[in-house]
Amino acid sequence: MQILSLPNLAEHAISIRAKALAFNDEKSRHLFERIQLIAPSDATVLVTGESGTGKELIARLVHTSSTRADRPFVAVNCGAFSETLLESELFGHERGSFTGAIDSRPGWFEAASGGTLFLDEVGDLPLSAQVKLLRVLQEREVTRLGSRKALPIDVRLVAATNVRLEEAVRAGNFREDLYYRLDVAKIALPPLRERPADIEPLTRHFIDLYSRRLSVPPGGISDIALLRLKAHPWPGNIRELENVIHHTLLIRRGPQIEASDLHFSSLGVRETAAVQPSFASSTNARKLVDPGLRSDGKSEHMSDLRIVLQELFDRNVPDLWQEIESTVFTMAYDYCDRNQLQTSRLLTLSRNIVRTRLIQLGLLSSKVDAG
């Protein structure tokens, strides 16, 4: 099991970027193999993928797997600077080249000399900077603002974007010639929902990480909670998963994470059929996932439950019905703050039935007629 994480994790604020990658899923393993083929060359690399999928981690892996591994790795977010400041940051400037330029300063290309320059969100570059970047890639030299002297550079460029550059080219927002200069070796990073086998190792990694940060016992996570994580569509990808685990460790009530401890952003509401491509093509699976194929009028909010059940069926879990029933009663009782009357209303069962089952599960003493 391989987990790739950012160096010096304590220095990185929460939610800035994906800070870990797993290569457990079949798609991830193929991705890793492709990186190992591309990395030893000096070819320009274009990493594409949704926000939070781990594009910077891929860039760092390309660097550490290359012959430049002992040289600088410099990461620059192209969307973090104004148009006027961006060119100075990338290419450097001479003293007096603009108001506030009180001394000469090398740019990021010079800082990455001999190593790798990672340009994140390259799709946000203004057209003026695109022209200069194209020239740098063509001539392999950089000219500081306010200077006429070209300086040779030896830098491998890795660019990343969550923008569809082909569409940006057609819309006139990105230069076609620069696009082809960047798209020499493309690494397409799938979203987390298409790498379900990576969710468990990443979850356990973040449990360990934040247990140490928060000085709390790491505990574990229940199978039902793991299935719930795998059923979520993860619009925020690995970054969202990290935040969910961090929050869960803050508010969990038991020794391990239960499904009831997990809280997701409302942004995660998507078509569930797109979440589990591994089985969504079969007729039986589509009947479980797609509410439109059901004949009993059940609403779409049951689709996540159907996904969890499908996973349990595939695993051939022993005593499945007993496990499901006990989990439903336990979670409902906790959800209702251990109030029997509210639990019976929630489950639309009589209070006597609820009380009897809670006693059988050891959640209620037969001598106590609580709430």
Higher pLDDT, 365 or 23: 23
Same fold, 26-192 and 194-360: no
Give the residue-averaged pLDDT of 46-58. Answer: 95
Q: Which of 261, 238, 316 is nearest to 57 (CA)?
A: 238
pLDDT of residue 303: 58
Residue ranges of the domains in the chain?
26-192, 194-360
pLDDT digits (tens, 9 = 90+) for 194-249: 999 999 999 999 999 999 999 988 889 998 899 889 888 899 999 999 999 999 99
Looking at domain 26-192, which of 3.40.50.2300, 3.40.50.300, 3.30.420.270, 3.30.460.80 is its CATH number?
3.40.50.300
pLDDT at 332: 87
Quote the mean pLDDT of the chain: 83
Domain spanning 194-360, CATH class: mainly alpha
pLDDT reported for residue 89: 84
Residues 6+ apart with CB under 8 A from 28: 21, 22, 190, 195, 197, 198
- pLDDT of 331 > 70? The answer is yes
| Long-range interactions of 29-38: CB distance < 8 A, separation 24+ | 31/58, 31/187, 31/189, 31/190, 32/2, 34/187, 35/61, 35/62, 35/65, 35/187, 36/65, 38/62, 38/185, 38/187
Buried residues in 161-188 as b, exposed as e (16+ CB within 10 A): bbeebeebbeeebbbeebbebbeebebe
pTM above 0.75, yes or no: no
Q: Is the pLDDT of residue 287 over 70?
A: no
Least confident of 109-113, 259-263, 271-275: 271-275
pLDDT of residue 175: 96
**Residue 294 — very low, low, confident or very high, per pLDDT cuts 50/70/90?**
very low
Residue 305 has pLDDT above 50, yes or no: yes
Determine the pLDDT at residue 369.
53
Q: Which two tokens stand for residue 310?
A: 């499908």
Among 265, 247, 266, 243, CA closest to 257: 247
What is the maximal distance between C-alpha atoms in the chain? 90
Of the candidates 64, 49, 219, 266, the residue with the CA atom closest to the CA atom of residue 156: 64
337 falls in which pLDDT band (50, 70, 90)? confident
Q: How far apart (Å, rounded) are the C-alpha atoms in residues 128 and 178? A: 12
Structure confidence at residue 283 as a pLDDT band (50, 70, 90): very low
